[in-house]
Amino acid sequence: MTKLNGTTALVTGANRGIGKAFVEALIEAGASRIYAGARKPETLDALVAAHGDRVVPVTLDVTRPEQVRTAAEELTDISVLINNAGIARFEGLVAPGDSEAARAEMETNYFGLLNMVQAFAPVLKANGGGAIVNLASIVSHFSFPGAGSYSASKAAVHSLTQGIRGELRAQGTLVVGVYPGPIDTDMGAAIEMEKTPPSEVAKAVLAAVDAGTEDVYPDLMSQEMHRSYWADPKAFELHLTGTSSAA
């Protein structure tokens, strides 16, 4: 039995991809209630039908502060917050045009996550500390060609994760950063690399939460890239030049 047995969790972006895999893994780990956040709650119908009242749909766009506030007022029993919602536009940084993609990625990936943390930190504190899981990316550590603005937003998520870890230590909240390589989801469809199933990410992350591990590289590709990057960051940066696209 894991510490997640009997827990109550909230997963953002739970209707598909890695978020849906988190809901399923939490069910398997024995969570008693999982609030599944989605911009369109009807997209959660199949999940709710499959798991009955253990999965509770919640209308939640993380970029809408009023929805985030309402969720934090209503979902006062959560101990695990999984900040999974994210977007990737796979655009470069320098190409002519506006900065719309870069702003949208920051708005969802960084500010949306920050909205969630600010609203739910007091809830977690009231419930004894609990855990926050943030979906960053292996490209939090380096900029991937073809995904420059996404990489920047995920670097911001990495920094936020380190920052809130320090701020929330006193209230006993475990803060977990997750740094996946290419994962087989709708987002991952744009990436022409070998991909890991989302269920493996969810399983590795829940094991980390159970063990109190703060940094998770949940797939072979992220583990290998992490090793290569830290062995020689500049050589790795040069090696990436000329390649394209990774989430």
Ligand X SMILES: NC(=O)c1ccc[n+]([C@@H]2O[C@H](COP(=O)([O-])OP(=O)(O)OC[C@H]3O[C@@H](n4cnc5c(N)ncnc54)[C@H](OP(=O)(O)O)[C@@H]3O)[C@@H](O)[C@H]2O)c1
Which residues are known catalytic residues?
150, 154
State the residues that interact with ligand X by CB under 6 A. 12-13, 15-19, 38-40, 43, 60-63, 84-88, 108, 112, 135, 137, 180, 182-183, 185-188, 191, 247
**Shortest distance, position 87 Cβ to ligand X, whole Å:** 5
> What are the angstrom distances between the C-alpha of 15 and each of 46, 171, 233?
9, 30, 36
Q: Given the complex with ligand X, which of 51 and 125 has the nearer CB atom?
A: 51
> What residue spans of 148-194 are helical by DSSP H?
148-168
**Shortest distance, position 63 Cβ to ligand X, whole Å:** 4
- Give the H or E element holding residue 81: strand 80-83
Q: Given the complex with ligand X, which of 187 and 216 has the nearer CB atom?
A: 187
Q: Which amino acid is at 19?
A: G
Q: Given the complex with ligand X, which of 130 and 180 has the nearer CB atom?
A: 180
- Give the H or E element holding residue 206: helix 198-211
**Shortest distance, position 151 Cβ to ligand X, whole Å:** 11
**Tokens at residue 148, please?**
């420059």
What b/e readout covers 57-95, taking b as 16+ CB neighbours within 10 angstroms?
bbebbbbeeebbeebbeebeebbbbbbbbbbbebbeeee
**Shortest distance, position 157 Cβ to ligand X, whole Å:** 8
Distance between CA atoms of residues 170 and 84, nearest Å: 24
What b/e readout covers 165-188, taking b as 16+ CB neighbours within 10 angstroms?
beebeeeebbbbbbbbbbbbbebb
Distance between CA atoms of residues 108 and 154, nearest Å: 11
**Shortest distance, position 96 Cβ to ligand X, whole Å:** 26
Q: Given the complex with ligand X, which of 11 and 29 has the nearer CB atom?
A: 11
Q: Given the complex with ligand X, which of 66 and 170 has the nearer CB atom?
A: 66
Residue owning tokens 């960053």: 136
